[in-house]
Amino acid sequence: MASLKGGFRILLVVSFLGLNVLPFVPHNSLRTLQRFSSDAAAFCPKYLQSSSEPLPRNLAEVPVTRLSSACTCFQKTAAPSSTWAPAVAPTPTSISSVKTTSWSTSASVAPGLPTSTALPPTTTSPSTTGPNSVRAVGKAYSGGKRGLVYDWNSQDYSKFFKNSNKIAFGSNWREKRIPAPGVTFDYGAYVPTIHVDGNLKNDGWLNAVKALIASGTPMIYASNEPDNQGQANLTPAQAATVYKNYVQPFKGQAALASPAITNGGGATGLGFLEDFVGQCRDCHFDIINVHHYVNRWDVGVDQAVSAVKSYLTKDVAAFQAKHPQFQNTKICIGEFWLWGASDEEGADYLRKLLPWLDGNSNVACYQAFGGLWRGNFINSAGTGLSRSGQVYHDL
């Protein structure tokens, strides 16, 4: 879920007292307000009372025509109340039924997937024929687990993590380590992400990635959320074409990650990946890349942690068990977060989840979507780490 999120969404809030529907809001606009939450918290109440309120510089990328709906949703997510919380807490066994946004349902299983809770086999030798034969000539991911996400708005905030021995790599949804002047990320590995134009082209990608691999890049991300209209927005066939043209050529040179899917249901999420695999039968994968988001106004911190664990050990594991191409791969949870959590709730979420991710041998890598932005892993003043950022730095 890159910083530029597009497309209108209906944010659904489920409670046991009824269904509340927030206004239509483009997800990239809401993301901008959440990233610069201190500015948004001061601006939105005034703007909703008087549309003549000047727009802060950090919020300038939000179109004026979308400010009202984005501010309305921001105020709901920034301060969840008991009105928006479930009256009865779902148990971990029922967490998969909790709805989040219209494109994201926690721990949902694609139609037709097995429901076994067993982890995918890790000791079976790759076959020498068929789709899984490519496993023998791949390249396992050999880097550290914890990564940082950042973009052209991240300035020099990476300096606050430079002395952490926990950070192994970074990514920014492009093939350039430094996406804009003034942005720094000069430690750890860099993981590029393929992105293409409307003609499914990226003329600079192959040479850029060759150089990155020569400098030590351990892994390549395929398309970012092709099942999300606000991101790569590709059909399974298009995603397969992009993978074959731009990721598959580096087989054996770096670990190759599958397209990063949302945790949506139906034709998105694992359902999309199911269709993608059908279009990419001769493709090679070293990593299965998934994203996971739930909303604070739907679930509490403990429930959100349980949702991640359930998604990885049940839903994703069942998908891996079904498809030979993924039976010997590990998981990268390329983005995850508890939307709408306060800084302290975000810190609590990480305290409870990171030790499990670090101790799970089937998880190769992960990136929390706190990110290098003010109001996320960086405090609102931009002078240091937030509470959640400090946990991600230390734990």
Which tokens is 292 given?
């996971």
Which tokens is 358 given?
């670090």
Task: Identify the CA nearest to 356 among candidates 289, 307, 295.
Answer: 307
Q: Which helix (H) or strand (E) holds 32?
A: helix 27-35
The pLDDT-based confidence of 174 (bands split at 50, 70, 90) is very high
Give strand pairing partners of 170. 148, 190
Q: Which of 78-82, 208-212, 285-289 has the lowest mean pLDDT?
A: 78-82
- Is it the case that residue 107 has pLDDT exceeding 50? no
d(CA 354, CA 311): 15
d(CA 96, CA 110): 12
- Res 23: pLDDT: 33
Q: How far is CA 54 from the centre of its chain?
A: 32
- Res 80: pLDDT: 38
d(CA 209, CA 144): 20
Q: With contact defined as beta carbons under 8 Å apart, do 250 and 290 qualify?
A: no
Q: With contact defined as beta carbons under 8 Å apart, do 30 and 74 qualify?
A: yes
- Res 53: pLDDT: 80
- Res 176: pLDDT: 96
The pLDDT-based confidence of 82 (bands split at 50, 70, 90) is very low
User: CA angle at residue 305 from 301 to 306, to 5 degrees?
Assistant: 115
Which tokens is 14 given?
């489920």
Tokens 């990721």 locate to 247
- Is it the case that residue 388 has pLDDT exceeding 50? yes
Task: Identify the CA nearest to 213 among candidates 260, 170, 252.
Answer: 252
What is the three-state SS of 310-346? Answer: HHHHHHHHHHHHHCHHHCCCEEEEEEEEEECCCHHHH
- Is it the case that residue 182 has pLDDT exceeding 50? yes
Which tokens is 10 given?
């209906």
The pLDDT-based confidence of 267 (bands split at 50, 70, 90) is very high
Tokens 């509490």 locate to 300
Which tokens is 157 given?
């905030």
- Res 132: pLDDT: 30
- Is it the case that residue 95 has pLDDT exceeding 90? no
Note the pLDDT tens digit of each residue in 17-59: 333 333 333 445 676 776 677 778 888 888 877 767 888 877 7
Q: What is the mean pLDDT of residues 296-305?
A: 96
Angle between the 301-310 and 343-359 helix axes, to the nearest 10 degrees? 30
d(CA 347, CA 97): 25
Q: Which helix (H) or strand (E) holds 190?
A: strand 189-190
Other residues' Cβ atoms within 10 Å of the Cβ of residue 313: 20
DSSP annotation string for 222-291: --B-TT-TTTT---HHHHHHHHHHHTGGGBTTBEEBPPBB-S--TTSTHHHHHHHHHH-TT---SEEEEE
Which tokens is 154 given?
């991240």
Q: Cα-flanking dihedrals φ and ψ of residue 115, to 5°? A: -105, 15
- Is it the case that residue 361 has pLDDT exceeding 90? yes
Task: Identify the CA nearest to 27 among candidates 2, 55, 58, 56.
Answer: 2
% of the chain at pLDDT higher than 70: 72
